[in-house]
Amino acid sequence: AQSVTQLGSHVSVSEGALVLLRCNYSSSVPPYLFWYVQYPNQGLQLLLKYTTGATLVKGINGFEAEFKKSETSFHLTKPSAHMSDAAEYFCAVTWNTGFQKLVFGTGTRLLVSP
């Protein structure tokens, strides 16, 4: 079955440190991959996406992710964490089937300390 695994329900970093949030997927067909961020009492905001083409994708707020087919991974990184990055992050996958259904990981809460 197609699925997404996010390693670590909580990740803590210091302000200015590297952010690395892990996402692995399981799919028998080429996936389309997304990272979303959710702030308290809000909906999901799209950070970045991978569909086809360049495997290193850049998103908003300085985030980027690299699609590695051999490792079935799509990890999210940011060189320098900011206090405003504290939120919950969701990795999601869909496929080129013409349907919109997203399958989400369980989420990773990013904590940023001063």
Partner 1 sequence: KAGVTQTPRYLIKTRGQQVTLSCSPISGHRSVSWYQQTPGQGLQFLFEYFSETQRNKGNFPGRFSGRQFSNSRSEMNVSTLELGDSALYLCASSFDKGAHEQYFGPGTRLTVT
Could you say whether residue 59 binds partner 1 (CB under 8 A)?
Answer: no
According to the binding rule CB under 8 A, does residue 18 interact with partner 1?
no
When asked if residue 42 is in the footprint of partner 1 (CB under 8 A), the reply is yes
- 13 or 90: CB nearest partner 1: 90
Show the tokens assigned to 96.
Answer: 């080129």
Task: Give percent helix, percent strand, percent coil of the chain, each to the nearest 5.
Answer: 10, 55, 35
The burial class, CB within 10 Å (0-12 / 13-18 / 19+), for 52 is exposed
Name which position in 35, 63, 89, 90 contacts partner 1 (CB under 8 A): 90
Site residues (vs partner 1, CB under 8 A)? 32, 34, 36, 41-46, 49, 51, 90, 92, 94, 96, 98-107
